[in-house]
Structure 1
């Protein structure tokens, strides 16, 4: 009986050590391209300010106020939850979004973000001339326009005379897949780096290092645990959707069930990196299914 209790205690401690290890591995794997982690990094205003200074090519730019996960409700249609919304000291508005798929970064999504931003800024009966300059900034994992540019500026034009429409609405796409040896390229590299010591920006590096360290206070630890849980849930949803899609392509109902079971197990164990890797690597997916006897 005593031996059984010892074994039980050992197994419990062993499981906890494994969970802590998986948690640490997941935290260390985060980059600024993970939108949930990026929001936590951007809670430090100086990080948002630095990114905007680089993208806008304006070192004097100062962020006056900002909101992470800003809710823009729409009673008559689709609401939005913005990754980062801020205003500079000149009254210009910025919405920064991490977009890891071409579908999520489509032109009509950018158009809708700009429209809803205008709706929420202009008060009832207020003159349209009070609308500020607004910038929708999509930070993308891939070059969705395939023109090998670092930064794409989208502006409305008057076609017949080739002049700017000057409505104050601007859309920018920052292509982090283009990593040239310049300021924009260095920022693109920083968005993909897991190790803060390898980051070019001291401002971003300091913030990321703190969040990935074991020196967080109780409040910081709670925030990081929330990020982990949100990330697991997101990876779980995406994994199931991926599995269902693959299952339907093959016409095999059991394929959907196996994928759902696998994603549930991996999410429970905190193996987020495995979920991400399995989504794009068929051989790795098969090895995971085999590992858990699925």
Structure 2
């Protein structure tokens, strides 16, 4: 099999080699495997998980406001579980977790359904740094009654996993694996097997190259769409700025690597360098 390789300065294969599960685009690809998701959740939740539905990159539309594209949505019995990788501190704000839960509620309930039959919702944010700042490896948040500190059973739990703590525990080893670029350094076989497929197997690398080309194509199309709405030159620039931001925030690219990936001409690069370094 001949691999498709991008003709620009940055080879897609080099980009794939640098990917980690903390890069949410790659995590979504690996987590298309339901058994991987199940074992991953069982370590975090410390209980067995029986997956009924599993969706990677699940879009929830809100006709009255902001829509979202969530990384992974799982149905486990009466629970809906949302897994999110958040490298950006701002993206892991507690109100975002609340928003995710609200839209999941709105999209998984039915007319005339009894209120006590609404599914429980668990939101899991895996953060690159200790967003909450208490130095703990994991945080479980529930609603409580102020006056007596008893649980207020409204059916929502928010979990923050601090991936910066990689102790010799089941959870710490899992977080270590989230940062590995080399599958051979991973502790868990179920992750090592899937990651090595996309990084080392010819068929897996071919799939990744095609996905990378699609990501690049969508970024350029977004720029063209904004260009039509705002004027061709300004709109194209704004679209490329958004694509550069995504590559840096989600996939760990340097600015120079993002410029290479998007094939931005050398004579235009100083404009984007000024924007991102000023």
With the shorter chain as reference, the TM-score category is: 0.7 to 0.9
- Normalized against structure 2, the TM-score is what? 0.77
Q: Which of the numbers 63, 78, 96 marks the counterpart of 1:109?
A: 96
Q: Which of the numbers 4, 9, 14 marks the counterpart of 1:25?
A: 14
Q: Is the 8 A contact 2:12 2:212 kept in 1?
A: no
- Normalized against structure 1, the TM-score is what? 0.73
After TM superposition, the structure 1 = structure 2 runs for residues 52-63 of structure 1, keeping only pairs within 5 Å, are 52-58=41-47, 60-63=48-51
Change (3 A) 1:267 1:227: closer
Q: Which has the greater radius of gyration?
A: 1
SS in 1 for 2:202: coil
Change (3 A) 1:94 1:18: same
Q: Which of the numbers 175, 193, 211 marks the counterpart of 1:226?
A: 211
After TM superposition, the structure 1 = structure 2 runs for residues 1-294 of structure 1, keeping only pairs within 5 Å, are 22-58=11-47, 60-88=48-76, 90-216=77-203, 221-222=206-207, 224-227=209-212, 229-230=214-215, 233=219, 237=241, 265-268=259-262
Count of matched residue positions in the alignment of Structure 1 and Structure 2: 239
| CA distance in 1 between partners of 2:105 and 2:209 (Å) | 33
Q: Is the 8 A contact 1:66 1:87 kept in 2?
A: yes
Give a deviation string over 1:141-183, Cα, whole Å, max 9, x none. Answer: 1101111111111110101011010111000011101111111
Q: Is the 8 A contact 1:135 1:171 kept in 2?
A: yes
Change (3 A) 1:93 1:264: closer
SS in 2 for 1:47: helix
**Structure 2 runs not aligned, ≥5 long:** 221-238, 247-254, 265-271
Change (3 A) 1:188 1:72: same
Aligned to 1:9: none
Change (3 A) 1:56 1:97: same
Instruction: Report the Cα offset of residue 125 of structure 1.
Output: 1.9
Instruction: Report the Cα offset of residue 101 of structure 1.
Output: 1.1
Change (3 A) 1:109 1:17: closer
Q: Is the 8 A contact 1:36 1:227 kept in 2?
A: no
| CA distance in 2 between partners of 1:20 and 1:108 (Å) | 40
| CA distance in 1 between partners of 2:197 and 2:81 (Å) | 26
Q: Is the 8 A contact 2:142 2:151 kept in 1?
A: yes
